[in-house]
Structure 1
C-alpha cells in the first residue's frame, strides 16, 4: 500500500520518474530498476544552490527548506527519442508528427512541488506555452515555449563558430537549451527548480499504452482536424496516439492554450487514478512495459537519486495534490514579433506561487501568533484569489473538461 501511495502522488505529474523510483524500493523490482536506470538518458542541467543565469535583474528565487523538492516536467514537441535519434517515417505518421526535424518548442511545462511534510499538499503548476515572458539569457520578451530553442540555437551557433564537431554541438546546445528554460521559469515563478524531467511525443504515447490507457472526461464532443482529436462527450479511456491527440488539441477550444492546459491537468489526474486503482503496480507485464517505455522516452537531470526521492514521498496520498495554472491576463495579447500571446504579470505569478508555498491554513496560524498581520494577510489572500486563473483540479478525481 505504501508503494502504491508513493507512485500515486507523482504519477499525476511525473509518472516516468516515480515509476522507476517505486521499482527501486521494492525488492522484486530492484534488478529491473538497475537495468532501466543504466539505459536512462540524463543531462547535467541543474546547478545546485546557485541562482540560474539572468539578465533581467530578477531577485534570487524563493527557496523552501532543502528537503522540499521542485521538479520541472517538460513535454517536448520533438521527433526524436530520448537519445536524440530521429523517429522513423512510420512512427512520425502514426503520431501525426509531421517532418523529421519538427519543432524545438516545449509544448507542456508543469512545475511539480513536493513538500517534505506529508500533511501539506503537493501541487502542480502549469505554465501555458504561449505565456509572454522575459526569456533568460538576454533574449528579451517572447513566448515561454521558445526559451529552450533560443538557448539551444544560440549555443549551437557559438560552438560552430568555434569549430566544434556536430556531436559536440548537438549535445552541448541541447543542455544549454534546457538550462535556459529552467532559468526562465526560475525567474518567472521565484522558485528554484531542483530536478528536471523531459518526455517526447513517442514516450508519451508509449507510456499510456503501457498502463492500459488513461480515463478522461469531456463536457462536449470534440472534432479537430489539426490535432486529429475526435472524441465523444463523457468518460472514456484513451491511450497511444488518441491520448496524444487529447492533450495536444487547442484549436476549437474557447480559451485555446489555456483550455489545453486544463486538458493536460485532467489527463495527469486520470493517469494517477489509473496507476493507483487499476492494479498497475501489481501487474508484472505492465511494469515491464512501463519500464521499457521510460528508458527510451524520458530525460532526467544527472544525479537525481530516485530511491531517496521515493522514500521522501512518505505517505502523501492521491487526494493530497492539486493542479493549478499561473495567473494570466489577455489570451490574445498582440506582440511585436511573436504574434498573439498570453499576457502574464510576473509579480502576480510570484504572489500566486508564494501563496501555494504558504497556504491559507498556515497564514491563519501566523495571524493568531501575530494579530497585527491579519489585515496584511487578508489583503494578500484577496489579491491572490482575484488573479487566480481557474479553479484547481484535484487529483483525487477524474474531472470533466472542455
Structure 2
C-alpha cells in the first residue's frame, strides 16, 4: 500500500543548493535517512494550474506559501508570499538569467520553468528571508477539484460578494458547502475584493484548512475504497522534493496536525503602482517576521502582530 501511494507522487529536484539546510560533509538528499522526524521544518508550497510547464509560455507561480512546522510538530504556520512582491532575483547561469529586480512570481519563468524555475524561486526566497527549506511541493490546485469532490465538498464562508472572473458564478455572502470547481474558483478570486490579493491569499489558506477539516469529518478512515481514491487523487496533484525523507516518514511524523493547528499569516507589505505596473512592497514589520521565520518562531510573532494574521 505504501508503494502504491508513494508511486503516485512525482518526484522533483525542486530546491536550489542555496535553499537547502547546510550539512557539512553530507549529501543533502540523504541527510535525513535513518533519523527520526523532528522539527522545526520549513516547506515551500507552490500552487499552479498546470503540472507541466513550457519555458516558452512565460508561466509564473500562481501561489507561494511557506509552511513552517514548529519544533514539536504540533502547529503549522502558513505564510503566504504576495505574487507581486518586488524582490531581487539572484542570477541563474544555467537558465541564462543574470539576476535583477522583479515580481517574485517571475522567478519561475526566469529559471526556465519546471524544476529549474522552482529552484530559482526557492533561491529568491532564501535570499529575501534567510530561511532554508526541508522540502518543497508543487500543488496542482486544479487537480484538487477531484480531491474536494471525493470529500463531498468543503465548507467555506464567503465574507464579501464577488463575481468570478473565470465563470458567470457570483459568490454571495454566507457559509456554504462548495464542490471542487466552485471552491477552487472562489479561492482564486482577487479582483472585486476589498483587499485584492491579500483576500485571495487568505481564501487559499482557508481552503487548505477546509480540506483538512472535511477529511477529518467525513469518516474516510472507515471507508477503505474512498480513502484509496482520495490518497491517489492527492498524489496525482503533487510533485515533491522531500529532502531525502520518505513520504511515509513525513506522513507518520506529522499525523498529529489538524485543521485547528493552522495559523495563516500574511507578509507585512502594501500595494503600489510603478508607472502602470502594480507591485507589492515590504513594510516596516517585515524584517521582524523574517527573523521569526529563521528562528522557527512564527507562532510567537503572529501572537504579537495580530494585524498580519488571517482568520481561518
Normalised-by-shorter TM-score class: 0.7 to 0.9
Q: Distance in 2 between matches of 1:315 and 1:200?
A: 25
Question: Which structure has greater strand proportion?
Answer: 2
Task: From the superposition, tell whether residues 38 and 391 of structure 1 become closer, same or farther in structure 2 (CA, over 3 Å).
Answer: closer
Q: Is the 2:166–2:185 Cα contact (8 Å) retained in structure 1?
A: no
- Describe how 1:75-154 pairs up with structure 2 within 5 A: 75-78=47-50, 82=51, 84=52, 104-118=59-73, 121-137=75-91, 138-152=98-112
| Displacement after TM superposition at 1:186 (Å) | 1.5
Q: Distance in 1 between matches of 2:177 and 2:57?
A: 28
Q: Following superposition, which runs of at least 4 residues in structure 1 exceed 6 angstroms of deviation?
A: none
| Displacement after TM superposition at 1:305 (Å) | 1.5
Q: Distance in 2 between matches of 1:248 and 1:69?
A: 27
Instruction: State the aligned residue count.
Output: 285
1:344 aligns with 2:298: no
Question: Which structure has greater helix proportion?
Answer: 1
Instruction: Tell me which residue corresponds to 1:324.
Output: 265
Instruction: Tell me which residue corresponds to 2:211.
Output: 271
Q: Distance in 1 between matches of 2:311 and 2:263?
A: 5
Q: Is the 1:221–1:230 Cα contact (8 Å) retained in structure 2?
A: yes
Q: Distance in 2 between matches of 1:273 and 1:66?
A: 24
Q: Is the 1:332–1:341 Cα contact (8 Å) retained in structure 2?
A: yes
| Displacement after TM superposition at 1:124 (Å) | 0.8
Q: Distance in 2 between matches of 1:131 and 1:185?
A: 11
Instruction: Tell me which residue corresponds to 1:72.
Output: 44
Gaps of 5+ in 1: 1-30, 52-64, 87-100, 153-172, 362-380, 395-402
Alignment match of 1:42 (pick from 2, 7, 11)? 11
| Displacement after TM superposition at 1:261 (Å) | 0.7
Q: Distance in 2 between matches of 1:227 and 1:125?
A: 29
Question: What do residues 246-287 of structure 1 show as CA deviations (whole Å, max 9, x unaligned)?
Answer: 111111112211111111112122122112222233322331
Q: TM-score, normalised by structure 2?
A: 0.80
RMSD: 2.9
Gaps of 5+ in 2: 24-36, 92-97
The structure number with the bigger radius of gyration is 1
